[in-house]
A and B are shown apart, each in its own frame.
Chain A
Amino acid sequence: MQGETAKSRKNFAYIALAVLLLSLFVLNISLGSVYIPFSVVLKWMVGLSIESEIWQNILLKSRLPQSITALLAGAGLAAGGLQMQTLFRNPLAGPSILGISSGAGLGVAVVVLLFGAIQGVSLAGLGWYGSLTITAAAFIGAFGVLLMILFLAQRLKNNAMLLIVGIMVGYASSAIVGLLQFISTKEDVQSFVLWGLGSFNNLSWDKHVIFIPMVALGLLGSLFLIKPLNVLLLGENYAANLGLNIKRSRLSILLITGLLTATITAFCGPIAFLGLAVPHLSKGIFKTADHSVLIPAVMLFGGALALLCHLIARLPGFDGTLPINAVTSLIGAPIVIYVILKRRSLTQ
Chain B
Amino acid sequence: MEQKEDYFLRANNLAIGYDKHVLPLHENINVSVKPGQFTCLLGPNGAGKSTLIKTLCGFIKPMGGQVWYGNEKIERIPEIQRAKKISVVLTDRLDVQNLSVFELVSLGRTPYTGFFGKLLPYDIDLVHRAIEEVGLKGYALKSIDKMSDGERQKAMIAKALVQETPFIILDEPAAFLDLPAKIEIMQLLRRLSKEKNRGILLSTHDLDMALQIADKIWLMAQGKTLQEGIPEDLVLTNQFKRFFEREGIQFDNFTGSFKYHKEIQKEIILKGEGNTCDWVARALNRMGFATVAQGSNYRVEVLQDATSQFALYRSNKLVLQCNTIEALMDGVIKSFAAESKN
Q: Scan residues 181-238 of chain A and give those whose CB is less than 8 A from a CB of chain B.
A: 224, 226-227, 230-231, 233-235, 237-238
Q: Per-residue 0/1 for A270-288: is the Cβ within 8 Å of any B Cβ (1 yes, 0 no)?
A: 0000000000000100111
Q: Does B208 contact A (CB under 8 A)?
A: no
Known contacts A241-B87, A243-B110, A235 near B79 by CB under 8 Å? no
Q: Does A1 contact B (CB under 8 A)?
A: yes
- What is the bound-complex CA distance between A188 and B97, given in angstroms? 46
Specify the chain B residue showing the minimal Cβ separation from A239: B110
Q: Are A227 and B97 in contact (CB under 8 A)?
A: no
By a CB distance below 8 angstroms, the chain A residues around B141 are 2-3, 6
Q: Are A238 and B92 in contact (CB under 8 A)?
A: yes
Q: Per-residue 0/1 for B245-285: is the Cβ within 8 Å of any A Cβ (1 yes, 0 no)?
A: 00000000000000000000000000000000000000000
Q: Does A242 contact B (CB under 8 A)?
A: yes
Contact of A283 among B94, B98, B124 (CB under 8 A): B98
By a CB distance below 8 angstroms, the chain B residues around A174 are none
- Count of inter-chain pairs, beta carbons less than 8 A: 91
Q: Are B92 and A235 in contact (CB under 8 A)?
A: yes
Specify the chain A residue showing the minimal Cβ separation from B141: A3
Q: Scan residues 72-101 of chain B and give those whose CB is less than 8 A from a CB of chain A.
A: 79-84, 86-88, 90, 92, 94-100
Q: Does A322 contact B (CB under 8 A)?
A: no
Interface of A is mostly: loop
- What is the bound-complex CA distance between A241 and B85, given in angstroms? 10
Q: Scan residues 50-88 of chain B and give those whose CB is less than 8 A from a CB of chain A.
A: 57, 59, 79-84, 86-88
Contact of B88 among A3, A224, A233, A238 (CB under 8 A): A238
- What is the bound-complex CA distance between A121 and B86, given in angstroms? 65
Q: Are B110 and A235 in contact (CB under 8 A)?
A: no
Within the complex, the shortest CB–CB distance from A330 to chain B, in Å, comes to 26
Q: Per-residue 0/1 for B270-309: is the Cβ within 8 Å of any A Cβ (1 yes, 0 no)?
A: 0000000000000000000000000000000000000000
Contact of B83 among A242, A283, A290 (CB under 8 A): A242
By a CB distance below 8 angstroms, the chain A residues around B102 are 1-2
By a CB distance below 8 angstroms, the chain A residues around B104 are 234
- What is the bound-complex CA distance between A224 and B97, given in angstroms? 23
Q: Which of B92, B96, B107, B141 has the most CB of A within 10 A?
A: B107
Q: Does A56 contact B (CB under 8 A)?
A: no
Q: Does B222 contact A (CB under 8 A)?
A: no
By a CB distance below 8 angstroms, the chain B residues around A245 are 79
Known contacts A237-B88, A241-B87, A288 near B100 by CB under 8 Å? yes
- What is the bound-complex CA distance between A233 and B117, given in angstroms? 14
Q: Does B150 contact A (CB under 8 A)?
A: no
Known contacts A238-B88, A241-B57, A292 near B116 by CB under 8 Å? yes
- What is the bound-complex CA distance between A287 and B141, given in angstroms? 11
Q: A2-B140, A241-B59 are in contact. List 11 more A-B contacts (CB 8 A).
A: A2-B100, A3-B140, A227-B115, A227-B116, A227-B117, A237-B92, A242-B108, A242-B110, A287-B143, A288-B103, A292-B117
**A–B complex contacts, Cβ < 8 Å, 8 sampled:** A234-B94, A234-B104, A237-B88, A238-B90, A241-B88, A243-B110, A287-B98, A289-B97
Which residues of B come within 8 Å of A, CB atoms?
57, 59, 79-84, 86-88, 90, 92, 94-100, 102-104, 106-108, 110-111, 113, 115-118, 124, 140-141, 143, 146, 163
Which residues of A come within 8 Å of B, CB atoms?
1-3, 6, 89, 224, 226-227, 230-231, 233-235, 237-238, 240-245, 283, 286-290, 292, 347
